[in-house]
């Protein structure tokens, strides 16, 4: 058994909405799972958190991976490992739409999804878990294709880039994918890449996807009057850093009024034309908490347990038996706040002093966040 113990923790954010910060001084992990709290049993690796607050690793449910740690849109290598330094420990492909020469025929669409799914099973840049292989729903596909892809462990699909006259025409294929166990996400708002189409509120309501992708626009948002109508669709509402911040804040206000915050997901929708954004997840948490009057702990839940639940994953919650994917937060050095959650609530990005994935230390002081007030050390 491989074991890890994190000592001198000042508190634990569970990742669940509405739960208080736990008064926990240490977390013990065994074989990549959280095994105990406040247990001083010896371990193979001991991390001195030096008063850091521990929270779940962040889950980005909208990234545009291709193959390996490279993005052709921005010609950048190493971007996924860099996102780990921003606290992201798990990410989900929003379709491999940016693969150069991407195929659009039936065999090619399926082949691309299977190849990507297989590839990401075998590589973890910076330790980050990548859920790859998201088939692009197209008129070329049939109900039988989703059963075939499901048998090959492809479980993700995206609507918004297929050659439909109206994207709502994809609804029967969305049902077929969901029947086969897929998590289906739709594009929302204006067209984002050449050859794609806008997705209106009527399309969103007809599609009934599991995730309303970039509900705040990617990057062009829906009219204000349509934002409330999105809540009539059954899926989670994903708000992204690469979208419209004004629309995001309106959606959050609506979710609070309707007691629907459990439907809100934070994601980045990067790398795209907006660029590579290693701090995209934590920056969005800071913006939403400070501008929408949400507690830091609840805002973190929008980026951890909420997407974890929608993706049917065990990650995203700090609890016994859960995967040991964790981030250690400190207030930024030289800042006003004396703790990282207060820093988030006042609009400051906290300092990351440790990232742990499956019980293994992947990084200490982040090369991207502000310097943490205190550093963690490993023994």
pLDDT at 166: 87
Listed residue (270, 265, 208, 277) closest to 238, CA to CA: 265
pLDDT at 191: 67
Q: What average pLDDT does this structure show over 280-298?
A: 98
How many Å apart are CA 217 and CA 224, to the nearest integer?
Answer: 11
CA-angle at 144, arms to 142 and 147, nearest 5°: 125
Query: Which residue segment(s) compose the domain that 28 sits in?
Result: 3-55+317-378
Residue listed under structure tokens 């921003």: 86
pLDDT at 271: 96
Q: What angle separates helix 245-257 from helix 280-291, to the nearest 10 degrees? A: 60
CA-angle at 248, arms to 137 and 198, nearest 5°: 35
How many Å apart are CA 114 and CA 135, to the nearest integer?
Answer: 8
| Cβ 332 vs Cβ 350: under 8 Å | yes
| Cβ 326 vs Cβ 281: under 8 Å | no
Whether residue 193 is predicted with pLDDT greater than 70 in this model: the reply is no
Listed residue (188, 194, 180) closest to 207, CA to CA: 188
Q: What average pLDDT does this structure show over 156-175?
A: 91
Is 311 inside a domain boundary?
A: no
pLDDT digits 0-9 by tens, 310-362:
999 999 999 999 999 999 999 999 999 999 999 999 999 999 999 999 999 99
Would you state the structure tokens that stand for residue 16, as one six-digit string?
């669940």
* Number of neighbours of residue 284 by Cβ within 10 angstroms: 26
3-state secondary structure of 44: coil
**Alpha-carbon torsion (332, 333, 335, 341), positive or negative:** positive
Residues 6+ apart with CB under 8 A from 120: 65, 93, 130, 131, 132, 133
Q: What average pLDDT does this structure show over 176-201?
A: 84
Quickly list H helices, the chain. 79-84, 106-121, 143-151, 171-179, 201-207, 224-227, 245-257, 280-291, 296-301, 305-310, 340-345
| Cβ 303 vs Cβ 310: under 8 Å | no
CATH number, residue 19: 2.30.40.10
Whether residue 108 is found in the same domain as residue 160: yes
Task: Pick 164 or 127 by higher pLDDT.
Answer: 127
Whether residue 331 is found in the same domain as residue 239: no
CA 26, chain centre distance (Å): 26
pLDDT band at 195 (very low <50, low <70, confident <90, very high): low
pTM higher than 0.85:
yes
Q: What average pLDDT does this structure show over 30-35?
A: 98
Last residue in a domain, options 278, 304, 337: 278
Is 181 inside a domain boundary?
A: yes
Last residue in a domain, options 278, 308, 331: 278
Q: What average pLDDT does this structure show over 300-317?
A: 98
Q: What average pLDDT does this structure show over 171-183?
A: 97
Count up the domains in the chain and report the number: 2
DSSP state of 57: P
pLDDT at 162: 75
Whether residue 19 is found in the same domain as residue 128: no
pLDDT digits 0-9 by tens, 201-255:
999 999 999 999 999 997 789 999 999 999 999 999 999 999 999 999 999 999 9
Is 290 inside a domain boundary?
A: no
Instruction: Give me the chain's average pLDDT, please.
Output: 96
Whether residue 190 is found in the same domain as residue 260: yes
How many Å apart are CA 133 and CA 113, to the nearest integer?
Answer: 4
């Amino acid at each position: 058994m491989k074991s890890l113990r994190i000592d001198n923790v000042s508190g634990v954010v569970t990742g669940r909405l509405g739960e208080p910060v736990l008064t926990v001084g240490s977390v013990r992990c065994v074989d990549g799972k959280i095994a105990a709290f406040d247990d001083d049993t010896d371990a193979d690796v001991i991390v001195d958190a030096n008063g850091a607050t521990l929270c779940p690793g962040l889950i980005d449910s909208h990234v545009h991976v291709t193959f390996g740690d490279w993005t052709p849109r921005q010609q950048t290598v190493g971007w996924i490992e860099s996102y780990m330094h921003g606290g992201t420990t798990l990410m989900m492909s929003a379709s491999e739409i940016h693969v150069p020469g991407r195929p659009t025929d039936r065999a090619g669409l399926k082949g691309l999804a299977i190849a990507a799914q297989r590839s990401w099973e075998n590589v973890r840049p910076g330790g980050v878990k990548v859920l790859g292989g998201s088939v692009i729903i197209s008129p070329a596909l049939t109900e039988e294709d989703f059963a075939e892809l499901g048998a090959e462990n492809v479980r993700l699909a995206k609507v918004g880039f297929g050659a439909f006259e109206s994207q709502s025409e994809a609804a029967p294929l969305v049902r077929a994918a969901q029947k086969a166990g897929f998590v289906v996400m739709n594009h929302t708002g204006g067209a984002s890449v050449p050859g794609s189409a806008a997705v209106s509120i009527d399309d969103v309501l007809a599609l009934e996807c599991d995730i309303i992708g970039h509900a705040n626009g990617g990057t062009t948002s829906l009219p204000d009057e349509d934002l409330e109508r999105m809540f009539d669709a059954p899926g989670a509402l994903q708000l992204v850093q690469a979208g419209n911040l004004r629309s995001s804040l309106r959606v959050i206000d609506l979710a609070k009024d309707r007691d629907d915050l459990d439907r809100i997901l934070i994601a980045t929708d990067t790398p795209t034309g907006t660029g590579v954004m290693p701090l995209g997840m934590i920056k969005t948490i800071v913006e939403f908490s400070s501008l929408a009057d949400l507690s830091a702990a609840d805002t973190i839940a929008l980026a951890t347990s909420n997407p974890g639940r929608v993706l049917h994953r065990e990650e995203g919650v700090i609890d016994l038996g859960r995967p040991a994917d964790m981030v250690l937060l400190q207030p930024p050095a030289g800042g006003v706040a004396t703790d990282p959650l207060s820093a988030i609530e006042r609009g400051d990005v906290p300092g990351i002093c440790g990232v742990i994935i499956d019980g293994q230390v992947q990084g200490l002081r982040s090369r991207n966040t502000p310097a943490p007030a205190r550093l963690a050390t490993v023994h």
